[in-house]
Amino acid sequence: MEMKNSQSRSSQKIREMVQIALMTAITYLAVSFLHIPYGSGGVVHLGDSIIFVTAILFGTRQAVISGAIGMTMFDAFSQYAYYAPYTFVIKAIMALLIGLIANSGHSKGNSWVKNIIGIVLAGIWGVAGYFGAETIMYGSYYTAAINVLGNVIQITAGGTIAIVLVAALKRTHYFSR
């Protein structure tokens, strides 16, 4: 009996590591191959939608790790490297918020209300976080404010895409269990 439980836990850990690695790669690719620069240094991209999908479908831990690493990798390997430390923290907290809310009360991402509330709160944090980061980086509230609209558009698009993707993926055999 103990051997079977040990194998089960080991199998679960391997599955979680694979999910994290896969979602990190998908997050990085979603940002890398389709991003539109705006304002004084911001980028509109699809990475947030992947963070939201990961939190809703796989869980908080997977979303925090893959979102923070995948998004930070994009910054670190691009002309946006100066954003990397801020991105790591901001995206990790965004993923934490959506993950905790979407999976609260044993809902496991199955409550559309919780999912949308989580996306909205994570989005508010993301916009506020980047406003603060850009105020520090540029030393100007005005310069940071220029990017707020782009961040709102990015979060809104990412949240909308995430809801559509989650709805589609929940209908598959893998996620309908």
Residue ranges of domains in the chain, CATH in brackets = 22-170 (1.10.1760.20)
How far is it, in rounded angstroms, from Cα 1 to Cα 56?
32
Question: What would the two tokens of residue 108 be?
Answer: 């496991």
Contact present, 26 and 32 (Cβ < 8 Å): no
User: Stretch 112-141: mean pLDDT, rounded?
Assistant: 95
pTM, to two decimals: 0.89
What rounded mean pLDDT belongs to the chain? 90
User: Stretch 16-21: mean pLDDT, rounded?
Assistant: 94
DSSP 176: -
User: Stretch 50-65: mean pLDDT, rounded?
Assistant: 95
Q: Could you tell me where the DSSP H helices lie in 77-147? A: 84-102, 112-138, 141-146
Sign of CA dihedral 98, 88, 154, 24: negative
- Above pLDDT 90, what percent of the chain? 64
The pLDDT confidence band at residue 59, using thresholds 50, 70 and 90, is very high
Q: Tell me the pLDDT tens digit for each residue of 114-127.
A: 999 999 999 999 99
Q: What are phi and psi of 44, to 5 degrees?
A: -90, 130
